[in-house]
Amino acid sequence: MKKRAGGSPRALHLLWISLFLLGWMPLPLSSAEPPKTNQVLEVAERMRASFQGIEDYSSEVEQIYFKGGVEDERHRFKYFFKKPDKIRVDFISPHSGLNIFYRRGEKKATLQPFPSAPSLKFRISIDNSIIKTPTGQGIHQTDMIFFIDFLFRNLAQVRQKDSQFQEERDQVNFLFWGQDYVKGDVPERYRIFISAPNWFPIRIERYSSEGNPVEFSLIQNYVFNSHLDDRFFVP
């Protein structure tokens, strides 16, 4: 009588034992995240922990906007935030002298177009294109609370492909995939640079899913816990 193809159960059992002893035992498929995704999650957690110790901060920001992959506009401004909800933006160029005041959760912001005429101010919807960036970002999408939530949400919901993570002496940078920063409905690619001393972002590069540049944010000269007065956030 012929033996069935594949050998006897005892022979198969001995084969598996041999493979195990030789270190060739096949590993089960793991549901764990790729190592680089875990590294990005660790950075996000450090950012959140660092932010918890900050009562207020300010920074100088330069934003570069692209159209058709070519630089189209540059905006420069100073940004101020005070917990739990106060935001102020002072424009340097263009619109020098324009100030925007906003409180998180509100549907309107206050515009003060001329510092020489402080009584001249306007309440305007945060959905109004006048106070949105050229790529559509609203004033309510500018603070660290929104940015950190953006990282955690997309790490949980969006597959992180083409993972890249680099760690240097004073910064880390990584490639990150997320639903777009403004509406959250289109996959985009981000290259994010984080300062290791304070775990705040110093450069955010936003690209379309095809790799075309959309906008770059360059953030420098952070000042933390300078005890900004509440009146500074009142127009």
The pLDDT of residue 119 is: 87
| Residue 206 domain flag | yes
Q: Is residue 124 part of a domain?
A: yes
Q: Specify if 145 maps to a domain.
A: yes
pLDDT in tens, 123-161: 999 999 999 999 999 999 999 999 999 999 999 999 888
Q: Domain containing 150: what range? A: 35-233
* Bridge-based pairing state of the strands 171-179 and 70-82: unpaired
> In angstroms, rounded to a whole number, what is the distance separating the alpha carbons of residues 215 and 132?
14
Residue 109 lies in a domain: yes
Instruction: State if pTM tops 0.85.
Output: no
Of the candidate ranges 50-54, 160-164, 228-232, the one whose mean pLDDT is the lowest: 160-164
Give percent of the chain above pLDDT 70: 84
Is residue 16 situated within a structural domain?
no
Give the model's pLDDT for residue 8.
54
Mean pLDDT of 214-224: 98
Q: Give how many domains the chain has, as a whole number.
A: 1
Q: Please, which pLDDT band fits residue 27 given cuts at 50, 70 and 90?
A: very low
Is residue 7 assigned to a domain? no
Q: What is the pLDDT of residue 5?
A: 46
Q: Which residue has the higher pLDDT, 116 or 207?
A: 207
Structure tokens at 55: 């009562």
Distance between CA 7 and CA 30 in Å, rounded? 30
> Does 157 reside within a domain?
yes
pLDDT at 162: 79
Mean pLDDT of 210-235: 97
Confidence at residue 161, expressed as pLDDT on a 0 to 100 scale: 84
Domain CATH number, residue 194: 2.50.20.10
DSSP per residue over the chain, as a string? Answer: -PPPTT--HHHHHHHHHHHHHTT-PPPPPP-SPPHHHHHHHHHHHHHHHHHHT-SEEEEEEEEEEEETTEEEEEEEEEEEEETTTEEEEEEEESSTT-EEEEETT-SEEEEE--TT-TT--EEEETTSGGGS-TT---GGG-SHHHHHHHHHHHHHHS---S--EEE-SSEEEEEEEEE-TTTS-SEEEEEEEEETTT--EEEEEEEETTS-EEEEEEEEEEEE-----GGGG--
Q: What is the pLDDT of residue 36?
A: 65
Whether residue 211 is contained in a domain is answered as yes
Ramachandran region, residue 155 (left: φ > 0; alpha: ψ -120 to 50; beta: rest): alpha
